[in-house]
Amino acid sequence: MIPKYNQPQLFETALTHRSALNEKSLPATASNERLEYLGDAVLELATSQFLYHQLPDEPEGVLTAFRSALVKTQTLADLALELGIDQQIIMSKGEVRTGGRTNPSILADTMEAIIGSLYLDQDFPAVVAFLEKNLFPKFKQVQADGSWKDAKSLLQETVQAQGLPTPKYKVIKESGPDHDKEFVIEIRVNHQVRGRGVGKNKQQAQQEAAVQALKQLTGKD
């Protein structure tokens, strides 16, 4: 559940996708991109702090891997859907028609913008409390299913164990301006499509695709 804001306008801005600017004759700064930038940094700090205390005996590399799993695009997109944020995003009619409300990248970006707006409205402790209630409980599942490990490496180990050829990754879509790219990557194993991933860079999209392929090949959700 989203906390009640002292400054509701901050929450509205966090929900405003850039596609709505022209349609509503709003200035560039009215979109959620600045809040997303701030929220990304706040989320990283809060998650790093949580993992530092949660895993006192693990090295930096393991903490980084867990953090990546907790703040990756799909995890944040799933959280946005759980909180009903998808139906609250302010976007253009065209964006809605092309599936904007279910676009993982848009959902994740909006989630980061909300975290940024909550930080400005109520400061860091409120963000931590929000994440402890909504995001950090996912840590146990991430720990149990091994998704915190490098998905591409795990996939390579899996296909080798099953006697399958090396996975092949292919960019099937690239969109957005240079400062806000979105990549869709498809992964094939033995000439069969095993997964698709979406990310702000190719590496992130490949990791997402590898997670999907692992689920198919191992039968684990």
Catalytic residue among 36, 112, 121, 186: 112
Cβ contacts of residue 160 below 8 Å, gap of 6+?
A: none
Q: Quick one: which of 13, 36, 168, 169 has its CA closest to 88? A: 13
112 catalytic? Reply is yes
- Asked whether the beta carbons of 205 and 221 are under 8 A apart, the reply is no
122 vs 129: CA distance, rounded Å: 11
CA distance readout (Å), 55 to 67, 75, 76, 78: 11, 20, 22, 24
Please tell me which residue in 40, 58, 86, 145 is annotated as part of the active site. Answer: 40
Q: How many CB atoms lie within 10 A of CB 176?
A: 11
Q: Which residue type, as a one-letter code, is found at position 141?
A: Q
Whether 46 contacts 131, CB under 8 Å: yes
Catalytic residues: 40, 112
